[in-house]
Amino acid sequence: MSAEGQSAPAEQHEVAVYDRGAAVVQADAFENPGLPPHRPRQTDLHPVKERRAERQVVWWFLLSMVGSVLAIIAYVAVPIESGDMGTVRFNNLFLGLGIALALLGVGFGGMHWARQLMSSHEVVEERHLSRGSEKTRARAVEIFQLGDEESGFSRRSLIRNTLIGAIALVPLPAVVLFRDLAPAQDAVEAISNTMWKAGSRLALDPTGTPIRATDVTIGSAFHVIPEELKDLGHDEGYLDQKALASVLLVRVPLDRLNEQPARAGWSYDGIVAYSKICTHVGCPVALYEQQTHHLLCPCHQSTFDVTNHAKVIFGPAKRPLPQLPITVDDEGFLIAQSDFTEPIGPSFFERLGHVDPEHVPLSAAELETRA
């Protein structure tokens, strides 16, 4: 605003418009400062350095060839054997090294070639108008109309409409085929049942040694599997079952445990068990912070509060870790009361509210009898 309260007049620019096309140029535009003077590289000035750069590029490409061959040899010479994790590791290691060498060799070689040996003169490409002349545009419309007339596309409406219908349906078989790539088993079903059942002893992972309640001291954390899992062979789905049933067991001081009334009988003397599979995208929640009683998922830092039924206090996970109801048997070993009462693992819309009616923890009266 000026001193008199009037708006200052906007700065005026004289504008010139080409007679055709959408480009606009300012008549008072800045003068093009042009490119800085070209500076030759060492390889432009010294033939010896040029030949050295050439050899370096060749070495990069040779290295790439070696990497490709190594990847193929590794794939054939180190096959993956079912159930043998050692072969998976070696196969992945050599395959990865080979492919990495192959790609890096081509990449670095190409870059080195472009930077040191290809022409380094700057080039300016003028932008031209992209709109056609009126004559060209009129001719295009004419051709289009002629095509329409000759083909009868507008006139033969029945053919046109059935063609549109046929084209609309062509992608449908692909949808069906892609649908078939999904797991054969219902996803919710696959993660709703684990090996845990009433009476399953909680055992140390991986030895399968059953755990007594007295072994679990305050501040300790145990990685736990069902005792029966150790009898399962690798070809009988050992890893699949372990991925579903893995549990973290911790003991917290009773006065810190804030249990929901409905789950009052699911812990034993401050010992609680939660699924180890993160409810975000399924990484193992393996870090226990014993001062705060927080469980941390290393993948995206979701943090669960063990004292508050593993509710999410930080991170992208959307629901608490499912709790495994536990108690002790006559010999003092920790046992499960049932399987999990909700699907373990990542959350997604199809499973919301899903509770398997067959997974029922012990009633208060049954727990009383046991005690």
* Segment lying near ligand FES (by CB under 6 A), choices 7-15, 84-92, 212-220, 273-281: 273-281
What is the rounded distance in angstroms from the CA atom of residue 142 to the CA atom of residue 119? 46
User: CA 124 from chain center: how many Å?
Assistant: 42
The length of the chain in residues reads: 371
* Segment lying near ligand FES (by CB under 6 A), choices 7-15, 83-91, 177-185, 294-302: 294-302
Q: Is 297 in the site for ligand FES (CB under 6 A)?
A: yes
- Pick 251 or 309: Cβ nearer ligand FES: 309
Which of 80, 198, 218, 281 is in the footprint of ligand FES by CB under 6 A? Answer: 281
Which of 242, 251, 276, 280 is in the footprint of ligand FES by CB under 6 A? Answer: 280
- Pick 41 or 319: Cβ nearer ligand FES: 319
Residues 6+ apart with CB under 8 A from 3: none
Tokens of 265: 């009988």
Q: Is 278 in the site for ligand FES (CB under 6 A)?
A: yes
Q: Are 245 and 194 in contact (CB under 8 A)?
A: yes
Q: How far is the CB of 244 from ligand FES (least distance, A)?
A: 16
Tokens of 315: 């991170």
Q: Are 277 and 297 in contact (CB under 8 A)?
A: no
Phi, psi of 253 (to 5 degrees): -55, 140
Q: How far is the CB of 289 from ligand FES (least distance, A)?
A: 15
Tokens of 279: 């409810």
DSSP state of 277: B
- Pick 187 or 283: Cβ nearer ligand FES: 283
Counting DSSP H helices and E strands in the chain, the numbers are 9, 12
What is the rounded distance in angstroms from the CA atom of residue 291 to the CA atom of residue 301? 17
Helices 85-116 + 47-77 axis angle, to 10: 160
Q: Is 317 in the site for ligand FES (CB under 6 A)?
A: yes
- Pick 278 or 324: Cβ nearer ligand FES: 278
- Pick 300 or 354: Cβ nearer ligand FES: 300
Which of 88, 299, 360, 367 is in the footprint of ligand FES by CB under 6 A? Answer: 299
Among 313, 261, 266, CA closest to 285: 313
What SS3 class is residue 219?
coil
Q: Is 302 in the site for ligand FES (CB under 6 A)?
A: yes
Q: How far is the CB of 300 from ligand FES (least distance, A)?
A: 3
Q: How far is the CB of 304 from ligand FES (least distance, A)?
A: 9
Tokens of 301: 């830092």
Total site size for ligand FES, rule CB under 6 A:
12
* Segment lying near ligand FES (by CB under 6 A), choices 76-84, 211-219, 240-248, 274-282: 274-282
CA separation, residue 55 to residues 13, 48, 62, 100, 109 (Å): 56, 11, 10, 21, 10
Q: Binding string to ligand FES for residues 31 to 70, with x set by CB under 6 A, is what?
A: ----------------------------------------
* Segment lying near ligand FES (by CB under 6 A), choices 21-29, 166-174, 276-284, 349-357: 276-284
CA angle 76, 81, 83 (to 5 degrees): 160
* Segment lying near ligand FES (by CB under 6 A), choices 72-80, 131-139, 275-283, 323-331: 275-283
Q: Is 316 in the site for ligand FES (CB under 6 A)?
A: yes
Q: Binding string to ligand FES for residues 98 to 117, with x set by CB under 6 A, is what?
A: --------------------
Residue 316, classified by CB atoms within 10 Å of its CB into exposed (0-12), middle (13-18) or buried (19+), is middle
* Segment lying near ligand FES (by CB under 6 A), choices 77-85, 121-129, 254-262, 295-303: 295-303
Tokens of 192: 């709703």
Residues forming contacts to ligand FES in the complex (CB under 6 A) are 278, 280-283, 297, 299-300, 302, 315-317
